Each structure stands twice: as C-alpha cells, then as structure tokens.
Amino acid sequence: MRMLPRFLPGLLCLCLLLGLPLAAQAQEEAGQALLESLDTDAYAEKGEAIEAIIESGDPRSRRWLEALLGGKLQRHKDTGQFVVVVENRGRSWPVVDALSFEDAGEMSRRELDRIGINNALRGQLQGALAVLDLHAEAVDERREAARALLGDVDASLAEPLRAVIDGEADDEVRRLLEQALAIHRLEQGDTAAVDALAGSLNSRVRAALNTASRSDDPQLAQAATAALADIEQKMRLNSGLETLYFGLSLGSVLVLAAIGLAITFGVMGVINMAHGELIMLGAYTTWAMQQLLPGQPGLALLLAIPGGFLVSALAGVAIERGVIQFLKGRPLETLLATFGVSLILQQLVRTVISPQNRTVVTPDWLSGSVMLNEGLSLTLNRLYVLGFALVVFAGLMLVMRRTRLGLEVRAVTQNRAMARSMGIRATRVDILTFALGSGVAGLAGVALSQLTNVGPNLGQNYIIDSFMVVVFGGVGNLWGTLVAGLSLGVINQILEPWAGAVLAKIIVLVFIILFIQKRPRGLFPQKGRAAEG
Amino acid sequence: MWLTQPFTERSTQLFIGVLLAALALVTVLHLAVPEGHPLHVTAYTVNLFGKYLSYALLAVAVDLVWGYLGILSLGHGAFFALGGYAMGMYLMRQIGDRGVYGHPVLPDFMVFLNWESLPWYWAGFDMAWFAFLMVLLAPGALALVFGFLAFRSRVTGVYLSIITQALTFALMLAFFRNEMGFGGNNGLTDFRDILGFSLRSDATRLGLFLATGVALALGYVVCRAIVGSKLGRVCVATRDAESRTRFLGYRVERFQLFVFVVSAMLAGLAGALYVPQVGIINPSEFSPIFSIEIVLWVALGGRATLYGAVIGAILVNYAKTVFTGVMPDAWLFALGAMFVLVTVFLPKGVAGLLAYRVKRPRHSSDDTSTPQEASA
C-alpha cells in the first residue's frame, strides 16, 4: 500500500487520457437524448422532458431552459441538429450548436424549426429556472436566487421548493426560502404563515403583509397588522443605527483630521493653520504611491501609510524650523505665518501637480459593503476609516502616555524652564512633537483619500472643522478630541435629514460657538497648572 | 470736543493732509488732464483706487480691535460683507422693473426662484436712509450679540480668533443657500443706479471714490479719537494685561464690546462703499481666507498705528492687482511669502520701518504703538 501514492499521479493521467473522450461522448449522447425528448407535439410530454432535464443535473441545462423559454432553442429541419439562435434578425440567423455551444455559422430561418411552448410550460420553466439557481455552487448565488423568489412563489413551485429546503445546507438560504413559501401560504390565507414572516425587513414581505392586513379574514388581518407594526419598529431601529454609523464615520474623519492638531495645537500650543495642507500632502502621497505602483492600488495604499506619515512629518519639521521657532510665545503671529505657509503649499501643489482633483483608486478589499441585515448595510471603506481612526488614536495615546517622548512633551508643555533644567532638550522635543502631530495629519490624508476628492483644496475644507473639534473637546486633551469629533459627527448626521447638509453644518458651528461661550475651555478642560499655559 | 482732539496730533494732521492731497490730485488728474496724456488717470483707475480706499477703511477697523484691543478677529470680513449686502439690497431695489424679468418689486433671482413676494427682511430697503442705517446697524448688531457672549465669558486670544473664523464660515455657508433670499451663489449684482446717479457713469465713480476717501478720513479720525481718549488707554491696558486691568476695577468686557461694535460698523461702512464700486456682492466676501487677508494688510502695514493699516491695505491690494494681471499663479506664492516674512522679519510692519527712520535722530518712544506680543 505504501507504494500506491507514487503511482497515483500516473494512474490519474492515464484515467484522464482514456476517460475524458469517453465521458465527453457519453455526455453528448445523454444531452442529445434529453433534447430529443423535448421535440414532441404533446405539451404534457414536454413538461416531463423539462423535469428530466432539471433532474439530469447537466451543466448545460440552464442554458437549454433559458433558450427554450426565449424560443431560441430550434432544430434544423434536414439534419436534425439542435441549435440555439444567437440573434434572430434578418433572413439567416447566427446560431450555435445546442450541445457543444460552438459556433455553427448562420442558418436560414426557413431551415429551422422552433421548439414551441405554451403558457403553462412558460410558468413551469420560470419556476424551474429559479429552482435551478438554487442549486448553484456559490452560496452567494443561492442566496440571491432565494431572495428573488420572495413573493414569486406559486402553487407549482411550492412543492419543489420544499424539497430544496430539505437539501439546503446554508441557514440563510433556508430562511429565505421558508419566507418565500410563507408568503405563498399567506396569499392562500394561512394565518400561521404570519409567524414565519415576523421581523423580516424585506420589502416584498412587507408588501405581502400589507395586502394580508387588508384581508377579509379578521384574524389574519389582525395578525398581519401586528407583524407589520413589529417590522416598522425594527426599521426605525435600523435607520437609527444607520444614522449612528454614518455619524460615527463622519466623526472618525473629524477625529483623524483633528487628532494631529490636538498634538500641535492642544499639547504644544502652536497654531498651525497649515495643518490642513499637511493632510493634503498625505492624500497626495497616496496618489503618488499609486502612480509609482500601477496595478497594485492595495499595496500602494498600505505603503502610503508610512509614506504619508513621513512626508507630512518632514514638512512639519520644515515648518517648525523655518517659521514657528522664530515666533515662540506669539500665537497670533504664528497663526498668520502658518497661514502663509498653507497658501504656499496649496499653490505648490497646483503648480507642480495640477489644479484639478486627482483620482485615488480604492482597492477591491476596501470597496463593497457588509450587510448586517436586509435593511442595514455598512460600506466597507467607511468601516475601515473608522477602525483606522481608532487605531491611530490608540497609538497616539500610547506614545503620549507610555513613551519617553510623551513624558518629555508633557514636561516641556507644563513648565519649559523646569523641564530644561532637568536636562530635557526642549528644542528637540519641540521638533519631534511637531513632527508627530504633522505625521498624524499625513495619516489622516491617506485615509481621507479613500473618502473624498484629492485636490489642492482638500486641506482647506478640514481646517476649520479640525480647530472646532479640538476647541470643543478641550485643548490639550486627546480624549476630548475623540469624544468631540465622534459626537459632532453624530449630531451632524442626526440634524441632516430634516435640516439639509449645509444647514446642519451651520447649526453645528453655531452650537460650538455658543458652547465655547458657556465653557471656554471645552468639554474636558485641563485642570491645574497645565491649564494656565 | 473729543472728535476734534485728534487734529492736534501731528500724525493725524499728516495723515489727513496726505489723504486729502491724494484725493485732490487724483481728481485733478482725472478731470483736468486730457485723455491720452501720460498723467491722465482713467475712470478705471479711479474706480480701482476707490476699491483700495474701502479696503483701507476695513483695515483701519481691524487695526482698531487688533492693534489696540489685542483681539485678532478672523471674521471681520463678515461685518464688511453684511454692510455690503445691506447696500446691495438697496441697489437691488433701485433696479425696479428694469431687471431681466421686469418685475416691478422682486429682484430677478427671486422671480427666478418663483417667489411670490419680498421676504420681510427686505422691507424698507427701497429707502436710502433706511438702507444706509442698516449698513451700520446690521454688522453692529451682529458684533453686539457675538461680542456680548464672547467677552462676557472671557473668551480671548486664539479661542476668540478661531470662533470669529467659525462665525464668518457659518455665515458664508448660510449666504450660499438660495433659501436665505440673498441671491445664493451669485449674490446681488446688475446694479443700475445709486441715489438717482447711474453707476455706469464716470462722474458717479469719481463721486464714490471721493466719498470713500472722506469716509476713510472720518473713520480714521473716529478711531484716533477713541485711541487717544481715556477709553483708548483702558483698551491698551486690556491688550497688554487683561487680568490686571480687571483687578484695577475696569469692566473690561464693556470696553471690549464697545470698541468691537464700533469696529464692526466701520467695517460695514467699508463694505457698503465697496459694493457700488465693484458692482457685485456675493458670499465669497464671507470666506475665512478674505478675513485673514485683511489681518495681513494690517500686519504688513504695521499694527497699532492706524495709518499703517491704510498703507498695508493699499500696498497689498496694489501688489495683488499687479500680480494677478501679470502672472496669476504667482499671487498665492507672493501672498503666502508675505505672511511668513512679515510676521518673522517685520513684526512692526512698514510703519515700524518708517517710525524707525523718523525717530532715530530724536530721542522719543511711543509706548502705545508697541503691543506686547506675549499678551496677544
């Protein structure tokens, strides 16, 4: 027995060489027989022949049935060859062989005989095709087929469906098929069917229940109305969850944009109006990476994460060394100078790259959506950005709380002179902190490139929002920035349906302006000595 | 009287003298020198100078709060634009039935939006006196409410700058909406005449230019009077040491509020003079970048001097006209570089350079003209 594995490949080859032609020939003959049985004048016999085709499990059966349904399955009068018409226009039609599906040239329509069907057969075929899809290999296809059946089940389909349900392995497909059957039973006036439909968010189910709630049978109508109310409740919950998700998603964008600012403005006290342009640089790094690695948008995006951090951090260092260090202790002058830097960076991008928006490709694993239930699906790219924001936040917290740099930063901001006399190189700390904050802005840019247009104005759109988030959360408090960003995002999304996007934004801005009057130091004010800085 | 007091100062005499001389010179060169002569000032140039002068008045208003009160307002464009809109609404009503749609009352954009009647806040703008009053009152009221809330809760420094920026940003978004009834994206335009004079005639343009010049002179005198009074001294004290002033018993927020409102009204006046000269007012005047540009004019000219603001506004805008004409791409580079260079190398602006030249031989120092940076 030990020797067997060695021979196996050889054996397999042999089998393939000898067996394949034989198998193909057998398939050919079986197919021919199935098609022959269709070519009869009695419709009852045709119905049986259709059943036989379905049961044969032949891979071509779907195409045969579709062709039959469309009246395109035809037979040559002289040779008896079965063909499928590709296009029936003009006098001679291009056809393919019905067995091999190879091109069979053109045939005159006079030479061809159509295999006709009647209405009863048409219904049987439609049902059969639907059931056929339920036998597909891929679970997704089976689910899709089952979903399509909702509301379309009639008496002729009900019987085969029960058999399919028993043979189905996937729970989701089974559930959908049960519902499809239940709708059918509901239409027959079966009150018990309501239970099987309760809680479903599918619009067809709701339509069926709606019809049932108006039925003459008071018991059925009552049950259906109750079930509908239940579904309404669930849908409200769903739309609430959806708003929350979009709000959190918007909030995560705000957090990402603001978190770098929370370091440079919040912790260091430097007003960097060029922060938005550092975000923009991160986004352009993503674009540049994708230009460098054509055809691999996913890899380019992953590489852009460290790349964007580095580019923006270096730009940040240049701004700190070139401008900000000369303006220590003059925050308003810093504001003006960095605003100048932001104008220069914007124009630089316009001149060097292009004033137009650049397209950043979204890799496959970022597009699409996750379906939680039939009423609620979450877009993947927003989900990733939300996760990314949380990871970046956690990383920053770790740096500020657990590393030597974080300790030194806090020491320098609380009392510069004291920190210096303890041997901390304050200038070096300044540079590193500013680089960190700027680098995080770059990360935000990488993430934003997946959600918005990458253009020279990208940064401008986020600078005011970012400052608002930091001020609202409380300067110098990273947690405050997180809470402020997420809650502002959610508030914005809650307001949007009834106020419109622009008005919602205005309301949020006015809210923050009023909030700062009430609590000038934000949601989570710093206490003690740090607050005096 | 307190308003005449500034005229005893040499710097005011000098400034008013130079300004009036310039106005007279431009008028003479425009009217008396024949066209085609190299010294002739065209109507276009007169109009351009008029625009610069309205910017200069705006810069003076910003300098009043930034230079003497230490409040860096990044939202003064909002007051400017509100004054401009008030004037624009008057000019719209003056069009009457000469619009494209020929409606006797409604402006074109309202007809276009299928509005039935004028919104209530447009009432009264067909009367010049009411509109001109609103030019001052609308920005003044906004400044009063905003300043009252902000100064009462002691929002100062960078925080105040950021929320003023948020204010003008919110207003910009609001005015972009068609539902607001201010023409949305396109704003108010296609004006015909003001007080019965056609806006397209050269004489009206010269008149507007001279009116702006006089307004600038008046605004300058008012600011100078405020700065030179006891009230002005309290302002400077607030700028340099807010807590200390408070401890001395001054109700700091009241002084701040008063000066802030006066400044907003001056900005509104500047906007009202600007609109008939450029022929349009739209929400872009509310954009944060415009407001921050005004601050640059003041910084470049020299903060806390008032005349420096005028010099800065004219210099920067002249440079803008030249640059955008010759090489438009370079303008933002130049503007950005100005921001950086002025703040880093020229903290006292052009006026600082001038003062340095003038004062070096004599031994004197003017303590009110040098704001303490740390307090800002």
Residue bearing tokens 């802030």? B260
Strand partners, B193: B198
Distance CA(B132)–CA(B68), nearest Å, equals 28
Residues A385-434: tens digit of each pLDDT? 999 999 999 999 999 889 999 999 888 888 888 999 999 998 999 999 99
pLDDT at position A7 is 52
Contacts of A264 (CB under 8 A, 6+ apart): A270, A272, A275, A316, A433, A434, A437, A438
Q: Which residues of chain B lie closer than 8 angstroms to A522, CB-CB?
A: none
Residue among A241, A247, A438, A481 at smallest CA distance from A345: A438
pLDDT at position B364 is 43
Per cent of chain A over pLDDT 70 is 93
Q: Which residues of chain B lie closer than 8 angstroms to A339, CB-CB?
A: 292, 339
Q: CB-CB: which of A340, A471, A503 is closest to B339?
A: A340
- Contact check, Cβ <8 Å, B336/A341: yes
Tokens of B290: 């415009």
- Contact check, Cβ <8 Å, A516/B155: yes
Does the beta carbon of B168 lie under 8 angstroms from any beta carbon of chain A?
Answer: no
Does the beta carbon of B173 lie under 8 angstroms from any beta carbon of chain A?
Answer: yes
Residues A319-337: tens digit of each pLDDT? 999 999 898 878 888 888 9
Distance CA(B231)–CA(A365), nearest Å, equals 66
Residue among A25, A34, A37 at smallest CA distance from A53: A34
Mean pLDDT lowest among A101-110, A430-439, B51-60: A101-110
Q: CB-CB: which of B152, B299, B340 is closest to A323?
A: B340
Q: CB-CB: which of A330, A471, A509 is closest to B373?
A: A330
Higher-scoring residue by pLDDT: B29, A17:
B29
Q: Is the pLDDT score of A314 beyond 90?
A: yes
Residues B218-270: tens digit of each pLDDT? 999 999 999 999 999 999 999 999 989 999 999 999 999 999 999 999 999 99
- Contact check, Cβ <8 Å, A506/B288: no
Chain B from 329 to 348: CB within 8 A of any A CB: 329, 332-333, 335-340, 342-344, 347
SS (H, E, C) chain B: CCCCHHHHCHHHHHHHHHHHHHHHHHHHHHHCCCCCCCCCCCHHHHHHHHHHHHHHHHHHHHHHHHHHHCCCCCCHHHHHHHHHHHHHHHHHHHHHHHCCCCCCCCCHHHHHCCCCCCCHHHCCCCCHHHHHHHHHHHHHHHHHHHHHHHHHCCCCHHHHHHHHHHHHHHHHHHHHCHHHCCCHHHCEECCCEECCEECCCHHHHHHHHHHHHHHHHHHHHHHHHHHHCHHHHHHHHHHHCHHHHHHCCCCHHHHHHHHHHHHHHHHHHHHHHHHHHHCEECHHHHCHHHHHHHHHHHHHHCCCCCHHHHHHHHHHHHHHHHHHHHCCCHHHHHHHHHHHHHHHHCCCHHHHHHHHHHHCCCCCCCHHHCCCHHHC
Q: Is the pLDDT score of A355 beyond 90?
A: no
Residues A523-532: tens digit of each pLDDT? 887 765 554 4
pLDDT at position B368 is 45
Do residues A489 and A247 touch, judged by C-beta distance below 8 A?
yes
Residues B138-197: tens digit of each pLDDT? 999 999 999 999 998 888 888 888 889 999 999 999 999 988 889 888 899 889 888 888
Q: Which residues of chain A lie closer than 8 angstroms to B295, CB-CB?
A: 336
Task: Taking residues A452-456, report their average pLDDT.
Answer: 89
Tokens of B85: 């809109």
Per-state percent for chain A, helix, strand, coil, to nearest 5: 70, 5, 20
- Contact check, Cβ <8 Å, B376/A332: yes
Residue bearing tokens 């060394």? A321
- Contact check, Cβ <8 Å, B339/A467: no
Tell me the nearest-neighbour CA distance from B375 into chain A, angstroms. Answer: 8
Question: What spatial distance separates the first Cα and last Cα of chain B, rounded to whole Å?
Answer: 32
pLDDT at position B330 is 85
CA distance readout (Å), A252 to A101, A257, A450: 53, 8, 13
Tell me which of A271, A273, A275, A339 to substitute to probe the interface with B (most B C-beta atoms closer than 10 Å).
A339
Contacts of B290 (CB under 8 A, 6+ apart): B77, B284
Task: Taking residues A464-493, report their average pLDDT.
Answer: 89
- Contact check, Cβ <8 Å, B343/A340: yes
Q: Which residues of chain B lie closer than 8 angstroms to A468, CB-CB?
A: 162, 166
Does the beta carbon of B161 lie under 8 angstroms from any beta carbon of chain A?
Answer: yes
Q: CB-CB: which of B146, B159, B343 is closest to A520?
A: B159
Average pLDDT, chain A: 83
Residue type for A456, please?
P
pLDDT at position B370 is 46
pLDDT at position A48 is 81
Q: CB-CB: which of B146, B329, B344 is closest to A337?
A: B344
Q: Which residues of chain B lie closer than 8 angstroms to A471, CB-CB?
A: 159, 162-163
Question: What spatial distance separates the first Cα and last Cα of chain A, rounded to whole Å?
Answer: 83
Q: Which residues of chain A lie closer than 8 angstroms to B174, CB-CB?
A: 502, 506
- Contact check, Cβ <8 Å, B154/A520: yes
Per cent of chain B over pLDDT 70 is 94
Q: Global pTM? A: 0.78
Which chain A residues touch B if contact means CB-CB below 8 Å? Answer: 271, 323, 326-327, 329-337, 339-344, 346-348, 350-351, 460, 464, 467-468, 471, 502-503, 505-506, 509-510, 512-514, 516-518, 520
Does the beta carbon of B72 lie under 8 angstroms from any beta carbon of chain A?
Answer: yes
Task: Classify residue A215 by its DSSP letter.
Answer: S
Q: How confident is the model at residue A374 (pLDDT cuts 50, 70, 90)?
A: low
The ipTM, to two decimals, is 0.84
Q: How confident is the model at residue A9 (pLDDT cuts 50, 70, 90)?
A: low
CA distance readout (Å), A438 to A122, A270, A413, A507, B312: 67, 12, 18, 30, 32
Task: Taking residues A73-95, report their average pLDDT.
Answer: 81
Q: Is the pLDDT score of A304 beyond 90?
A: yes
Helix (H, G, I), strand (E, B) or coil at A334: helix
Residues A511-526: tens digit of each pLDDT? 988 888 888 778 887 7
Q: CB-CB: which of B163, B333, B336 is closest to A513?
A: B163
pLDDT at position B365 is 43
Task: Taking residues A183-202, report their average pLDDT.
Answer: 77
Tell me the nearest-neighbour CA distance from B170 into chain A, angstroms. Answer: 5
Q: How confident is the model at residue A4 (pLDDT cuts 50, 70, 90)?
A: very low
Listed ranges A32-46, A276-290, B359-373; the one with the highest mean pLDDT:
A276-290
Q: How confident is the model at residue A276 (pLDDT cuts 50, 70, 90)?
A: very high
Task: Taking residues B80-108, report their average pLDDT.
Answer: 90
Q: Which residues of chain A lie closer than 8 angstroms to B165, CB-CB?
A: 464, 467
pLDDT at position A528 is 57
- Contact check, Cβ <8 Å, B162/A517: no
Task: Taking residues B126-140, report their average pLDDT.
Answer: 94
Q: Is the pLDDT score of A94 beyond 80?
A: yes
Listed ranges A176-180, A219-223, A241-245, B306-310; the one with the highest mean pLDDT:
B306-310
- Contact check, Cβ <8 Å, A343/B335: yes
Longest Cα–Cα distance in chain B? 70
Q: Is the pLDDT score of B8 beyond 70?
A: yes
